[in-house]
Amino acid sequence: MSEQTRGLIASPTEAAKQAEKTLRELYHWVEPERADMIVVLGGDGFMLQTLHAMLERRRIVPVFGMNLGTVGFLMNEWNPELLDARLARSRTFSVTPLRMDVETIEGKSYSLPAINEVSLLRETRQTSKIEVKVNDNIVLPELVCDGVLVATPAGSTAYNFSAQGPILPLGSAMLALTPISPFRPRRWRGAILPEKTRFGFRVLNPEKRPISAVADQREIRDVVKVDVAIDRSCTLSLMFDPEHALDDRIAMEQFVI
């Protein structure tokens, strides 16, 4: 990859800004808007922000992240040396986001992408009551819970896993449907379904039991209806060092105690 087509973006943290200064002194960069690939400095949250910005602008290029945050699951190790060699030997993984279409109590409509997951969450102490559809078929007439989420393989180790959802191998072409603190049906623990599946959620009694819908980090409050499906119109590309590739990291999370 030519140095002339490489852009650099850093989160506003002190550590990331210092790392940015180091890299700018060592390598040549172009403006991100003109780059053929982007190096991102920060944590997982900043990586998601960067990817969402690409989706909004509809200008998607491969991204190589270096961790200056906490977990850094979507990032590579921070090391300013031999960057050209790392980029040349990196492995690229395709990630297809979800699309969340929402209607609110006030009749407003929103459509937002989600790279990790779409979550429906109760807004008050009142338990949520949600009708769940899979491909237009009602599979749960009334799910009583704190919420429910749909997770991609890339996001299956995040909020989904904390909610006792399954880890999905990258490339499995599956999605996880996971309840959050389910009360009824008490024994239902979720489902793994093909990525072509369309999910529909209808909030029962939304005025008394208000629910918000969250696409990764973006929240829409007081929803009455949420539809979720894979958005095949855009595919993201994440680059990883071969020894820290995303598919291996997701698979090995199943053995973390």
Q: Domain with 163 in it: what CATH number?
A: 2.60.200.30
Which tops the pLDDT comparison, 99 or 252? 99
Q: Provide the token pair at 224.
A: 């009455």
What is the spatial distance between Cα 27 and Cα 130, in angstroms, rounded to a whole number? 52
Q: Provide the token pair at 92.
A: 């690229």
Domain residues for the domain of 249 are 3-96+234-255
**Would you state the pLDDT for residue 81?**
94
Whether 3 shows a pLDDT value over 60: the answer reads: no
Are residues 242 and 215 part of one domain? Answer: no
Residues marked as binding?
44-45, 116-117, 146, 154, 157-162
**Predicted model pTM:** 0.88
The three-class DSSP label of residue 151 is: strand
Label the pairing between strands 109-114 and 98-104: antiparallel
**Would you state the pLDDT for residue 2?**
43
Are residues 225 and 102 part of one domain? Answer: yes
**Would you state the pLDDT for residue 4?**
58
Are residues 52 and 41 part of one domain? Answer: yes
Whether 90 shows a pLDDT value over 80: the answer reads: yes
- Positions annotated as catalytic residues are 44
Are residues 198 and 134 part of one domain? Answer: yes
CATH number of the domain residue 84 falls in: 3.40.50.10330
Structural domains counted in the chain: 2
| CB contact at 8 A, 69 and 42 | yes
Residues marked as binding for NAD(+)?
44-45, 116-117, 146, 154, 157-162
Are residues 159 and 125 part of one domain? Answer: yes
How far CA 176 is from CA of 81, 182, 253, in Å, comes to: 38, 15, 16
